[in-house]
Amino acid sequence: MKHIMIGGVLEASEMALGCMRDCRIPFEDAEKLTLTAYEEGITFFDHADVYGFGASEEYFGRILERNPGLRNHIQLQSKCALIRDTEKTLAIDTSKEHIIESVENSLKRLKTDYLDTFLLHRADTLIEPEEVAEAFDILHSSGKVRYFGVSNFKTMDLMFLQSCLNQRLIINQMQLSVAHTELIDPTASIQLNEIDNVDRNGGVLTYMRMNKITAQAWSPFQVRFYGGVFMNDDGYPRLNAAVNRMAEEKGVSPSAIAIAWILRHPAKIQPLIGTTNKERLKDICTASGVELSRLEWYELYSATLYDEGRAQIGNSNPKPAK
């Protein structure tokens, strides 16, 4: 598997394993999944305090305990900020106390002394950036966190927070799949019809490329917000036809094409693979060797825009007069 430099400073595999769903499978299977990921070349593992209310991190801590030496060869990431008190309320806490306490609890569950990267899970309307700065400085100087980042931040919130910090933000984790393209839509606006030609994130990916902030793509197979995978979704006939054709031409699975589409972007976006099935994971990892041409990349993107009724339909390139 190829490697990338996250934020220009941290070397890691170009794909990561997202551990959100791990706690839903038996521990032994989660251990096999993790070790399979490592054997396939994945070195980066994404966690959050809320995944299974800490259960996914606990699993991973047990895996590290049973596989001594593994920790030195991987990069571990966690996040905090989401507070789920009830089913219906989603609060966000980026206070200094909450950040420090959450990292300390994650370290205990993960049975490690440090996180390679730590992210704020969501932007917080009530954010006090000076508090975040203090928390980040304490965590960095105590050796508990090497690098920092955020998730689901739009450009202005990212700029605002960075302007108050001593630590550089090197990651912004956002939703992106070939069937969920909001992250890249602002740059492709001319391909979008008038109604959908709106910038929802402040051109955040362009801002990130300017500032060497790595994008991590969460839910790389999903449509909408946990709407299920796009493969065999009746709402995406053109996309599935194009993906299946390319899969056949290149001798890989449709899943590998979906990830190759993300990897083809020059921003060097790191997809977070969420499968809990180790055979599927092995198959997805073959994406690392797949090259998509510009034409193929745009064909898949356009297919999604057509399937979602968001494409600019018309022809601005008139045929020459006879």
Ligand X SMILES: NC(=O)c1ccc[n+]([C@@H]2O[C@H](COP(=O)([O-])OP(=O)(O)OC[C@H]3O[C@@H](n4cnc5c(N)ncnc54)[C@H](OP(=O)(O)O)[C@@H]3O)[C@@H](O)[C@H]2O)c1
Rounded to a whole number of angstroms, the minimum distance from the CB of residue 235 to ligand X is 16
Q: Which of 179, 172, 204, 201 is nearest to 270 (CA)?
A: 172
Rounded to a whole number of angstroms, the minimum distance from the CB of residue 102 to ligand X is 15
The contact mask relative to ligand X for 242-281 (x = CB under 6 A, - = no) is: -------------x----------------xxxxxx--x-
Specify the 3-state DSSP secondary structure of 208.
Answer: helix
Q: 177 is written with which tokens?
A: 């799949």
Q: 117 is written with which tokens?
A: 């990267």
Which residue number, 186 or 274, has a Cβ lying nearer to ligand X? 274
Residue with token string 């193929």: 296
282 burial (CB, 10 Å; 0-12 / 13-18 / 19+) is middle
Annotated active-site residue 51? The verdict is: yes
Rounded to a whole number of angstroms, the minimum distance from the CB of residue 312 to ligand X is 27
CA-angle at 153, arms to 186 and 229, nearest 5°:
70
What size, in residues, is the chain? 322
Rounded to a whole number of angstroms, the minimum distance from the CB of residue 273 to ligand X is 5
Q: Does 18 bind ligand X (CB under 6 A)?
A: yes
Q: Does 21 bind ligand X (CB under 6 A)?
A: yes
Q: Does 219 bind ligand X (CB under 6 A)?
A: yes
Specify the 3-state DSSP secondary structure of 205.
Answer: helix
Which residue number, 19 or 257, has a Cβ lying nearer to ligand X? 19
* Among positions 34, 78, 152, 181, the unique one binding ligand X when judged by CB under 6 A: 152
Q: Of the residues 38, 51, 59, 147, which is catalytic?
A: 51
CA-angle at 241, arms to 272 and 18, nearest 5°:
10
Binding footprint of ligand X on the chain (CB under 6 A) = 18-21, 46, 121, 151-152, 173, 218-222, 229, 231, 255, 272-277, 280
Residues designated catalytic: 51
